[in-house]
Chain A
Amino acid sequence: MPEGTQVTNSKTNAAPKVNGDIILEARNITKIFPGTLALDDVSFDVRKGKVNVLIGENGAGKSTLMKILVGVEKPTNGKILLDGEEITLNSTLDAARLGIGIIFQELNLCANMSVVDNVFLAREICQNGVINRKEQREQAEELIERLGQDISPDALVGDLRIGQQQIIEIAKALAQDARILIMDEPTSALSFTEVEVLFKVINELKARGVAIIYISHKLEEILQIGDHVTILRDGKKVTEAETQNINIPWMIEEMVGRNPAALFTRKERPLGDVLLKVEGLTLPRAGGGYLLDHVSFELREGEILGFYGLMGAGRTDLVDALAGARPLATGNIWLDGKPVLGTSVAERIEAGFVLVPEDRQRYGLVEPLSVLDNMLLSSLKNYLKGFFLARSKEKTAVEKQIKDLSIRVANPQQPITALSGGNQQKVVVAKGLLTHPKVLLLDEPTRGIDVGAKSEIFEIMNQMAEQKYGVIFISSEIKEVLAMSDRILVMTKGVITGEFSHQNATEEGLVVASALDSPLEWRKEIWNRKVNQ
């Protein structure tokens, strides 16, 4: 249906008063991934010359919506209108041709190439088909200067600090001269001054009429730079507002929602002695800086210690380092009062650590193998009779686990792929338990499994804690962390930025702590909160 620029159609009367011209419009977008509804009938307007902010918790659907707007994903339902005309995007190339550029959340650079080559990748400036290196260099230099940096255009991107790489990513998007520029967490690795420069550039772009879509977890930042805020929760659009009319508590409330689901119940239980003590655990980042920056904490017997944080905060690196999967990690670890010296995964399993990894398919399971083979993979040497594996011993051990964890499987010889996600996850947990660990490291154990399986996993966690295991539990779902943990640590950029007991932990508190930038800021913030209470 052809339509003017003014919103007169009755179908779109949900849109609030028009503030600036709408250039891009996502209308009633639904996106279904196998097993999940990522976006549910979401409409999103992008205004010219404005910073259009999109916020929501991890998994709320922000990145999916952006991927649809640049043609990386296709919507299951709904349409996209540019200047009032419907468009179909099959690739980022299509989007770029229409003037839609994006700065992706994960850095999308070729580490093996120079800064200039990255900035102009697939958009080389050519003269008679030959790259005009002088022109490219000059333009790249200009862009870098505009971003207030002193990076050589010939430097290899892989040799740059992660913050500098993000600047290059921004420069790459600016080089496109887009009419609509999507920035997905552009400041996650930037320092304070670098953020200031970026904001200056954003204001310049706004003045030139560029529409900016801005995604960030840093709520103060949004109040500073944003014009219009749209909030997503669980794949649905919750609300939208002008930034001048809102404040941080309101945003958090809307993001988190007011339905504290009492799905998961934690059992009160007494805690034992200190089981695990970690001091100064440090892991350098390849591009400079730290993935883990001198992390110290303690874990008691029978304690479930939750870790909350945004993506890339260092939680996974932490459990990987404890499990021995990060050989470069340094620091002191004591288990049961004894120093843990071994550095390989095998030695750490021997010592009593076991990891249930975040990516179940890739690191947790060997797909062509059966349920039985997967479950015994870490503890094969316990089932030896001489040189051979004793089938009967294997079977008894596996059947006991299947019963204990109520894994629904017809026969242990079934291929692991025949099981549902939740049952696969239980097999991974069983594999860990068979090594007779002391500390269980559960990295997003509930990702991608349905609610019923989730509560079963939580039941297993409760059982383990009762049996005096120490449980470290990572989840990006704030409600799970709040419900299950005896104590919660929040991480940001490899630093622990908040500690909460089960009693005094709130969603707001965790969200604030996870978006804090520097230890100084979080100390101030926490102090303020204590004073207010």
Chain B
Amino acid sequence: MEQESKPMKTEEQTKKRSITKTDVQQFLLRGRTFIALILVLVFFTSMSPQFISTANIVIMSKHVAIYALLAIGMTFVILTGGIDLSVGSIVGLTAMIAGGLINEGIIIPQLGVILYPHTWMVIVISLAVGTFMGTISGWVITRFNVAPFIATLGMLYVARGMAGLRNNGYTFANLVGRPEYGNTGFELLGAGSFLGINYSIWIMIVFALIAYFVSSRLPFGRHVYSIGGNEDTADLSGVRVNRTKIIVYSISGFCSAMVGLVIASQLVASHPMTGDTYELTAIAAVVLGGTSLAGGRGSVGGTIIGAFVIGVLTDGLVMLGVSSFWQNVIKGIVIVLAVIIDQVQQRMQERIALQEQQEIK
């Protein structure tokens, strides 16, 4: 056995030395999103010195945090080979739920009383509603074998409609609560900071770390990847495919609810159209981060970088005074380009693997 393995190793070493050029190419292609992020940062800084100012960075990272939170949930969904189009609407719905709880409370007509839940309860209830909406999507997908695109498209309309219904299309304004009801402090979630860093950014960091841990270290994460890679195999191996899928959509709903709360708190108001089309930005961030829409391939880390690229690009273009029409054109090109490069990298990887095998032969 020993004798057999030794020559293999030396062969590998020589190979490593000989294909350094492809190694470099591979490295550049793999780190492409990160390189793109640096390029974007350098470009905007050189174009406009204020770009790198503290004030701008604070604003930018708040935006990035929102995209990143949505994209984290979306990453799990897309890793299973699904898609969640309802996240933007769930953002709107949960913002309206939170706003309603603070301004109107829970009316119990039988007793003739109005309950004003504590701010913490508001947050918990809103998160629970968002998670529940995601669970429904997952249940419809698995129970009735509905395509994720359709099920979540339905949820997109339902949740947005419910957001409008909550206050007949009107905004809940001035969500500061009243000291006598004990429900003040909601605005802190958006405005407060710890160690000089805004809460929303802390939330993003915590969510990202948890998501990274869950995806890479827990059995659940493996199951997510295996479903995206080969659902039949996962099933035959004993993975509880349906349960895993439902959880994945629940996670996405939970992340959306978190974003709904953050936005409502930052604006100190909730509007039924909050989060409109955010699902597209979230998908774009995930794809930019190197996650395959076919499922099974990608990472939370990539998604975070993808969210940064999208966020920085958007804000940078705004700062430079580029028209919003051109912004859309540029963003569109960047997203498609990212996927093209992804395909190039994959084909190259396959070619290298094929080469290596032929060399061994």
Q: Which residues of A does B touch, CB under 8 Å?
A: 72, 91-93, 96, 104, 108-113, 117, 120-124, 126, 129-131, 133, 145, 148, 150, 158-159, 161, 172, 284, 286, 288-289
Q: Which of B327-356 contact A (CB under 8 A)?
A: 349-350, 353-354
Given known contacts A92-B236, A121-B234, A124-B219, is B229 in contact with A150 (CB within 8 Å)? no
Instruction: Assess whether A110 is in contact with B354, with CB atoms less than 8 Å apart.
Output: no
Extra contacts besides A123-B237, A284-B354 (16): CB < 8 Å: A91-B238, A104-B236, A108-B233, A109-B233, A112-B228, A112-B296, A113-B222, A121-B222, A121-B233, A121-B237, A124-B219, A131-B222, A148-B1, A150-B4, A150-B8, A289-B357
Q: With A and B bound together, what is the CA distance between A124 and B219 in angstroms?
A: 6
Tell me the dominant secondary structure on chain A's binding face: loop
Q: With A and B bound together, what is the CA distance between A96 and B296 in angstroms?
A: 25
Given known contacts A121-B239, A126-B219, A131-B219, is B234 in contact with A113 (CB within 8 Å)? no
Q: With A and B bound together, what is the CA distance between A159 and B358 in angstroms?
A: 12
Contacts of A124 in B (CB 8 A): 219, 222
Instruction: Assess whether B222 is in contact with A92, with CB atoms less than 8 Å apart.
Output: no
Q: With A and B bound together, what is the CA distance between A120 and B357 in angstroms?
A: 25
Residue of A nearest to B225 (CB): A113
Instruction: Assess whether B219 is in contact with A110, with CB atoms less than 8 Å apart.
Output: no
Residue of B nearest to A107 (CB): B233
Contacts of A172 in B (CB 8 A): 237
Contacts of B361 in A (CB 8 A): 288
Q: With A and B bound together, what is the CA distance between A4 and B218 in angstroms?
A: 44
Tell me the dominant secondary structure on chain B's binding face: helix
Contacts of A92 in B (CB 8 A): 235-238
A364 to chain B, nearest CB (A): 23
Given known contacts A131-B218, A131-B219, is B230 in contact with A110 (CB within 8 Å)? yes
Contacts of B297 in A (CB 8 A): 112
Residue of A nearest to B5 (CB): A150
Instruction: Assess whether B232 is in contact with A108, with CB atoms less than 8 Å apart.
Output: yes
Residue of A nearest to B214 (CB): A130
Q: With A and B bound together, what is the CA distance between A145 and B223 in angstroms?
A: 26
Contacts of B229 in A (CB 8 A): 110-113
Query: Which residue of B8, B223, B230, B350 contacts A109 across the interface (Cβ within 8 Å)?
Result: B230
Instruction: Assess whether A108 is in contact with B237, with CB atoms less than 8 Å apart.
Output: yes
Query: Which residue of B5, B8, B223 contacts A122 across the interface (Cβ within 8 Å)?
Result: B223
Q: Which residues of B does A touch, CB under 8 Å?
A: 1, 4-5, 8, 217-219, 222-223, 225-226, 228-230, 232-240, 296-297, 349-350, 353-354, 357-358, 361
Contacts of A122 in B (CB 8 A): 219, 223, 226, 234, 237-239
Given known contacts A121-B237, A122-B234, is B350 in contact with A286 (CB within 8 Å)? yes
The 3 closest A-B pairs by CB, nearest first: A110-B229, A112-B296, A112-B229
Contacts of B349 in A (CB 8 A): 159
Contacts of B357 in A (CB 8 A): 161, 288-289
Residue of A nearest to B239 (CB): A122
B30 to chain A, nearest CB (A): 13
Q: With A and B bound together, what is the CA distance between A117 and B4 in angstroms?
A: 26
List 27 A-B residue pairs with CB atoms under 8 Å apart, sorted by A's residue number: A92-B238, A93-B238, A108-B236, A110-B225, A110-B226, A110-B233, A111-B230, A112-B297, A113-B222, A113-B229, A120-B222, A121-B226, A121-B237, A122-B239, A124-B219, A124-B222, A126-B219, A131-B217, A133-B217, A145-B1, A148-B1, A150-B5, A150-B8, A159-B349, A286-B350, A288-B353, A288-B357
Contacts of B358 in A (CB 8 A): 288
Instruction: Assess whether A123 is in contact with B238, with CB atoms less than 8 Å apart.
Output: yes
Contacts of A158 in B (CB 8 A): 353
A309 to chain B, nearest CB (A): 23
B233 to chain A, nearest CB (A): 4
Residue of A nearest to B232 (CB): A108
Query: Which residue of A130, A286, A289 contacts B217 across the interface (Cβ within 8 Å)?
Result: A130
Residue of A nearest to B349 (CB): A159
Residue of B nearest to A110 (CB): B229
Q: With A and B bound together, what is the CA distance between A136 and B80 in angstroms?
A: 23
Q: With A and B bound together, what is the CA distance between A91 and B242 in angstroms?
A: 13
Query: Which residue of B1, B234, B236, B353 contacts A72 across the interface (Cβ within 8 Å)?
Result: B236
Instruction: Assess whether B217 is in contact with A113, with CB atoms less than 8 Å apart.
Output: no
Contacts of B233 in A (CB 8 A): 108-110, 121
Contacts of B353 in A (CB 8 A): 158-159, 288
Q: With A and B bound together, what is the CA distance between A521 and B242 in angstroms?
A: 48
B120 to chain A, nearest CB (A): 27
A14 to chain B, nearest CB (A): 32
Contacts of B240 in A (CB 8 A): 93
Q: With A and B bound together, what is the CA distance between A306 and B237 in angstroms?
A: 38
Residue of B nearest to A116 (CB): B222
Given known contacts A92-B236, A150-B4, A288-B354, is B226 in contact with A113 (CB within 8 Å)? yes
Q: With A and B bound together, what is the CA distance between A91 and B236 in angstroms?
A: 8
Q: With A and B bound together, what is the CA distance between A158 and B219 in angstroms?
A: 21
Q: With A and B bound together, what is the CA distance between A288 and B354 in angstroms?
A: 6
Residue of A nearest to B231 (CB): A110
Residue of B nearest to A172 (CB): B237
Contacts of A131 in B (CB 8 A): 217-219, 222
Contacts of A159 in B (CB 8 A): 349, 353
Residue of A nearest to B79 (CB): A112
Residue of A nearest to B296 (CB): A112
Q: With A and B bound together, what is the CA distance between A91 and B237 in angstroms?
A: 10
Q: With A and B bound together, what is the CA distance between A145 and B349 in angstroms?
A: 27
Contacts of B234 in A (CB 8 A): 110, 121-122
Contacts of A113 in B (CB 8 A): 222, 225-226, 229, 296
Contacts of A121 in B (CB 8 A): 222-223, 226, 233-234, 237-239
Q: With A and B bound together, what is the CA distance between A91 and B238 in angstroms?
A: 8
B119 to chain A, nearest CB (A): 31
Q: With A and B bound together, what is the CA distance between A500 and B150 in angstroms?
A: 54
Q: With A and B bound together, what is the CA distance between A122 and B233 in angstroms?
A: 11
